[in-house]
Amino acid sequence: MTDILIRKDGRAGLITLNRPQALNALTWDMCLAIETALDDWSRDPQVALILIDGAGERAFCAGGDIADMYASGQRGDFSYGQRFWRDEYRLNRKIHDYPKPIVTFLHGFTMGGGVGIGCHASHRIVCEGSKIAMPECSIGLVPDVGGSLLLARAPGYLGTYLGLTGDRMDAGDAIHAGFADHYIPAQYWEALKSILTTTGNVAAIKAGPAPDSRLKDWQGVIDAAFCAPDLAMIRAQLATGGALADHALPLLDYNAPLAMAVAARIIAAVRQDPQIKTALDHEFRYTFRCAAQGDFIEGIRAAIIDRDRSPRWQPYSDDDITAMTAPLGKDALIWEDAT
């Protein structure tokens, strides 16, 4: 069984992530295959739009396949992850800037690398079972794949909250936060895909009203706490208690402190220049260095290797934040090389 199904039908280019047993986790080869298809279809007059979905019932895409990054990091080979992220980020930018409509069907889990594939599209559809998150800080990473742009554009300081806690959004939350556009119950999806494939016209997307959003209800208290300039002050604001604090503090307590501190700084920087290149450039400064720093490798160990969910994070200082966010010079992303 191939990991990705790429074909044309009618007026559409169709991409199905096809690793349901792995929650359609994204591999390096899948990234390259998607990029090749998008490049070809951008020049194909028969293709009016792109549809991207995921096989199985549980996930659109639950993230990147990080097991190989752990293995290479254990060997001291940090170049593997660096090369993977260069290619993945180039794909994320292409999806964001694509000249034709891209419609994504975000059922079940859409997390991490899945957000990079699904949530930069022009038309993002969610249903009653959608669960969207940027949980990277829980494995010692920062919200990446251009996710810091989505977080920076979220209402108020909701993006800082989502980036630091990794909290999961349902359909109503995702639409409120700007990670999705349209709510359509899953029972209507196949009929919609057929119409889109036949007509090539995104005007066929007829969405219902967005469900209520817990995060919208919490917006005021989120803004009051997560507008604070650093992690310590955010915690101090949450110390007053309440439903938000009860929900957020255990998430903050679990996640990697350095990753959260850097994530807050990245999101703040992208708010000042909310462009996809800016977001990816800032994210790559951290991801380029994260395997050597160590928390990322430890986070993978705790989450998917030993599965003890007891990561031992390293202490950090302001100097560490500065080191992980400094410009990369000759190692920075070079967008001019991308097609």
Residue numbers annotated as active site: 64, 113, 136, 144
Tokens for 176? Answer: 């409120």
The whole-angstrom distance between residue 215's C-alpha and the CA centroid of its chain comes to 18
How many Cβ atoms sit within 10 Å of the Cβ of residue 305? Answer: 15
Task: State the Cα angle at 20 between 131 and 73, rounded to 5°.
Answer: 85
Nearest to 175 by CA among 105, 102, 120, 125: 125
Give CA–CA dist 187/184, Å, rounded. 8
Q: Extract the tokens encoding 275.
A: 């462009």
Which two three-digit tokens encode residue 255?
């996640």
Q: Where are the alpha helices (DSSP H) in the chain?
A: 28-42, 67-74, 79-97, 113-118, 147-153, 158-165, 171-177, 189-199, 214-217, 219-226, 231-238, 243-254, 257-272, 276-293, 295-300, 318-325
In 3D space, the residue among 146, 144, 124, 125 whose CA is nearest the CA of residue 135 turns out to be 144
Query: Encoding tokens for residue 281?
Result: 């450039």
